Amino acid sequence: MSQTFGKTRWKRFAVVMVPTLAATAAVGVSIAQGALAASFALSGASFKVEAGSLHGDGFSQYGTVDTVVNGSGTKAPLPVAVSGFNSATITNLCQSVDVPLGPLGDFTLRITAGDAGTPVQASKLFIDMTDLKADTATFNNINIGVAGGAISKGPVDSTSAAQQGFAGSFGQEADSADLTNVKQTAWATSAGTFALANMHLNLSSGSNPCF
């Protein structure tokens, strides 16, 4: 990954940024990888994602801007932190989103998986997020700097013209990443494959978020 270093300042940057940024991916990147159709549009609603643990190989992360569409069809830019994994293993996965159903009231759509001894498996995983918390976050052989458009360790195509537009934003890459007790506010998730063991989908009345 092309980087711009500033002596010891980047060490301080790593201490501040690494624990707060992980487990996510941009829709722009997903489109470049063919994971999402170009017509795919984000609504103006986020969702919750929680995991007991996440191990990912081939990690990359940087900032970009998504486009969200509200109920009236108005488009607005949304800055997000973008993370990608070549492959990921996730335990105790929970995803929830609020679903307002007008006169029927508010409902919560909740999906759980990987909580019966067999973890969730994903490849080419991308998640867009605006907030993340983790009890621990460990990155192996990490590089951190200002992205120059070339990332080698994650699932992004650094030779793609779409990737060059991210030059100048923050960037980091690592051989692997391990996070525990992950809680994040996400706007989109995509993957080449997403195998959900012991999956359970439930739509219930009222508020029942993952966290």
Q: pTM for this one?
A: 0.78
Any domain includes 28: yes
pLDDT bin (cut points 50, 70, 90) of residue 45 is confident
pLDDT bin (cut points 50, 70, 90) of residue 39 is low
Any domain includes 42: yes
Domain that holds residue 148: 9-90+123-193
For the cut 50, the answer to whether the pLDDT of residue 163 exceeds it is no
For the cut 50, the answer to whether the pLDDT of residue 25 exceeds it is no
Average pLDDT, the chain: 78
Mean pLDDT, residues 107-125 taken together: 96
DSSP codes joined into one string, the chain: ------TTHHHHHHHHHGGG--S---HHHHHHTTSS-TT--EES--EEEEEEEEEEEEEEEEEEEEEEE-TT--EEEEEEEEEEEEEEEEESEEEEEEEE-GGG-EEEEEEEES-SSS-EEEEEEEEEEEEEE-SEEEEES-EEEE--S---SSSS-TTSHHHHTTTTSEEEEEEEEEEEEEEEEEEEEE-SEEE-TT-EEEEEES-----
Any domain includes 4: no
Any domain includes 114: no
Count structural domains, the chain. Answer: 1
pLDDT tens for each residue of 123-146 = 999 898 999 999 999 999 998 876
Any domain includes 104: no
Any domain includes 73: yes
Any domain includes 32: yes
